[in-house]
Chains A and B, each alone.
Chain A
Amino acid sequence: MESKTRRRGIAVRILEDAFWFRQRGAALSYAILAAMLLILAIVVPQTFYSATNLSNLASQLAPLFLVSLGQTFVLLGAGFDLSVGAVISLSSAILTLDLADPVKIPLAFAAAGSVGLVNGWGCVYLRVHPIIMTLATSSVVQGVALLLLPTPGGIAPRILVQMASGTFLGLPVGFYWIVGASAAAIWLVHGATYGIRLYATGQNPQAAWMSGIRAPRIRVSTYVISALMAALAGAYLTGRLASGDPNVGSALGLDSVLGAALGGTLLSGGVGGPIGTVAGVLIIGILNNGLNLAGVSPYYQFIVKGSMLVLAVSLFRRKEAGL
């Protein structure tokens, strides 16, 4: 008995959380990632491991990192957010409105936060199925984005352009967005009280509520986090393109689920986490990048991506069939 009692420092805890307690799948994701890096090192070493390519990769992957990390929170809380793509588009549309920067930047995040609140309210308090609720809001939000900005264009706030392009201390800025968002998400899930309550809520909302956790609020908060992360991704994309696009997010919505799922986060809630998502997003990004470098037709990339999605869910299988 005594021999078993050992102190669990925060580093140990994160490792245990990541690879055994709650994210059993993450180890597998990292193994796949390592295998891919190894293959690339053998097949296309010069092109893949070049500074230009890696910094391109960081800039391209930053938005996917943001939304996938946001989606991870929703999935951990046993929800599902299909509206992130539309929210990215909405924030891009708002950020290129003909308004002063100090007005439209807060406005974009407030709008995204409200979408998150509506999603959470509908799924949690009105008990509508998350897929239906977020499909419905994504339709509405996409409509609003198109009303505000019917065609790509507009001028992005200068501060965003600066924050989303170029390099800082020799590294591409996208890299800092990735590291910042990942660190914040990992701390929130594994370091803060919020994380334990989120896992508890995702596994069994009733039991969590009985333990005095305000489970409904936690679940709503995941949708708000996801929407805010999507708005952040929209801000980054708008800054990088230096203009708005009302359809910029459409592809990212599904990719966010793919990133989280490839990282071992289960769609049934309470299992997984941002550490795995980091690996999941890297797998997607490096695969796309590798296929491009190898000169594979974009048509085949569709097929590869779809197969990966199926592969991801079959690696982390569940007990029951269905949704």
Chain B
Amino acid sequence: MKRFLLSLPPAFWGLIAVCVFAAFTQPQFLSLPFLMILLRQAAPLGIVALGQTFVVANRSLDLSVGATIAFVNLIVAHAMWNGYPPAFVIAVALCVGLVIGLVNGLLVTVLRASAVVVTLGTAAVITGIGFLYSGGAPGSSMAELVKWLGRGRIGVVPVSGLACLAFGILAWILLRRLTLGRYIFAAGDNPSAASYSGIPVNTTLLLSHLLSGLFAASGGVLLSGLVGVGSLNLGADYVLSSIAAVILGGAVFGGGAGSAVGTMLGTALLVMVLNLLTVFGVDQPGKLIVQGLVIAVAAIIYQQGRRG
């Protein structure tokens, strides 16, 4: 029991604290319609953060998720796809995410270059290609299907929330139930021991980056639908937020830890705190400060817990 309580991610306790706080100060915050709005808003971040979980658990990092989201947004909003079925456009966007993940993964595994620098580099390249592709003027011809995915509802439940849940279950299965997950945690904890056990360390890391690229692109499609138009800078703050969600979810840099459920809780906590701040009239600077403090405190607390 004690082992179980200690293994709960910081986000779990944070979420309880925030809910209790909201219940006393802003009860309407916890009403079903408002929670559904939050869910719709959190879904894209949740999916991106789930992708980030794979790479962080694998002792790596993906700083190109923001650029990936922006690029996907430029694709789905571009006028050149007007005659094509919307599903095809989405498929193209997801393929672009896979390609970005593949490039990241190849650079990290084949060149053995630092993932921080590699993904920063690919992020710059993607941004440049995005500018060239859109000619500096993002389109606004977005398919209704994309908009429905980002904004639509089934009953009271937002479509994007369901999508996020589906991705969450997928990530949970990949990490906890499939061999790949075992490989990721083993290679993340000790790459050398993993290769001496016969685990295909490079393939595993490559797949982690591939998944991160795919998840980021999927989150990008949902976010594009939510925003409804093309925009040059969409998703820039998702790099920091996705890492924050993963850390809040109990992953430790240096690998070997992290979970799909934790990341979902982390995303929920982050989105709730930021919205609660909006309700209290706190502006962007204040939100930046609180976000930074939350990340630092979570990382510190979890680090201290592991030491003991």
Residues of B120-144 whose CB lies within 8 A of A: 120-129, 131-132, 136
Number of interface residues of A (CB under 8 A): 52
> Contact at B122–A146, with CB atoms within 8 Å?
no
Contact call B191/A322, Cβ cutoff below 8 A: yes
Any A CB within 8 A of the CB of B296: yes
How far is it, in angstroms, between the C-alpha of A144 and the C-alpha of B247 when the chains are bound? 23
- Which of A44-52, A58-66, A130-138, A236-244 lies at the interface? A130-138
In the complex where A131-B116, A139-B291, A323-B59 touch, is A122 in contact with B296 (Cβ < 8 A)? yes
Q: Of B123, B128, B255, which contacts A322 at CB under 8 A? A: B255
Which residues of A from 20 to 61 have beta carbons under 8 Å from B?
none
The CA-CA distance from A254 to B252 in the complex, in Å, is 23
A308–B299 CA distance with the chains assembled, in angstroms:
32
B296–A321 CB distance below 8 A: no
Question: Are A303 and B125 also in contact (CB < 8 A) when A317-B113, A323-B61 are?
Answer: yes
Q: A140-B289, A314-B111, A323-B61 are in contact. Are A307 and B116 (CB under 8 A)?
A: no
Residues in B with CB closer than 8 Å to A208 are none
Task: Given A302-B127, A323-B253, decide whether A136 and B295 contact each other with a Cβ distance below 8 A.
Answer: yes
| Cα–Cα, bound, A77→B123 (Å) | 26
- Min CB distance A8 to B, Å, is 33
Whether the pair B108, A321 counts as a contact (CB closer than 8 A) is yes
A149 to B32, CA, bound (A): 38
The answer to whether B112 touches A139 (Cβ under 8 A) is no
Q: Which residues of B contact A321 (CB under 8 A)?
A: 60, 108-109, 112, 115, 191, 201-202, 205
Complex Cα distance, B284 from A150, in Å, reads: 10
Which one of A142, A257, A304, A317 contacts B288 once the chains associate, using CB atoms below 8 Å?
A: A142
Residue pair A136, B296 in contact (C-beta under 8 Å): yes
Closest beta carbon of chain A to B146's beta carbon, Å:
25
Complex: chain B residue closest to A150, CB-CB:
B285
Whether A127 pairs with B303 at a CB distance below 8 angstroms is: yes
Once A132-B299, A321-B191 are accepted as A-B contacts, the answer to whether A313 and B113 lie under 8 Å apart by CB is: yes
Tell whether B31 is near chain A: CB-to-CB under 8 Å. Answer: no
Chain A 278-296, CB-CB to B under 8 Å as 1, else 0, gives 0000000000000000000
B121 nearest CB across to chain A (Å): 3
Minimum Cβ distance to chain B for residue A320 (Å): 6
Q: Is the CB of B299 within 8 A of A322?
A: no
Contact with A along B213-250 (1 / 0, CB 8 A): 00000000000000000000000000010010001000
Contact indicator B121/A307 (Cβ below 8 Å): yes
> In the complex, what's the smallest C-beta–C-beta distance from B61 to chain A, in angstroms?
6
Residues of B within 8 A of A (CB): 58-61, 107-109, 111-118, 120-129, 131-132, 136, 191-192, 201-202, 205, 240, 243, 247, 252-255, 284-293, 295-296, 299-300, 303-304, 307
Task: Using A144-B285, A321-B109 as known contacts, list a sample of 9 further A-B pairs with CB atoms less than 8 Å apart, ordered by residue number in A.
Answer: A132-B299, A135-B292, A146-B284, A299-B128, A305-B124, A320-B191, A321-B112, A321-B115, A322-B255
Residues of A within 8 A of B (CB): 80, 122, 126-129, 131-133, 135-147, 150, 254, 257-258, 261, 267, 297-310, 312-314, 317-323
